[in-house]
Structure 1
């Protein structure tokens, strides 16, 4: 399990370094997750110690929603002022994401069925 935690921390560190080095707006841990995903795709799977480390951390994932809820509570006045802008952007963003996902699935299923013939 220690090896798995070290792997997670190394990828988070690499993500932080890339974010700081290139002054990116994307948080370092997000870049680290993408790097970890690429690593696991190249490796074609995970390993036991990483699975154990991730499983232990997933138990505590709901606690990460507490700061988000507190942010919503403390910013209630801004949410009231910008309610319509937030609502419209959420609805439009959801529609765009659904349309893109549907189009991508349609493209991939057509491509997959053509390769099977």
Structure 2
């Protein structure tokens, strides 16, 4: 089975790997909000966790405090400027945040299928 981001993570399969191995296992998949850290750890028993899309979509994922989306975007841009972050990467991350948390109907771009 092809494992793609559009498919939900199967945390129970990770749990089988944790039981079968005597080495630390890093769990990953569908960690999209702060509570998911504890949820995936409870289900899998993994020693560590990894987060990717969740951190791109919500830069405040590691905070237990509820943060307004507009504040997260503003703070992300502020820190990107302070830390001289690559503008293309900053733009990509902001686009991902906006596309994940809003439903925009965008016209097709010229030259794209």
- Give the TM-score normalised by the residue count of structure 1: 0.27
Choose 1 or 2 for highest CA Rg: 1
Q: Greater helix share, 1 or 2?
A: 1
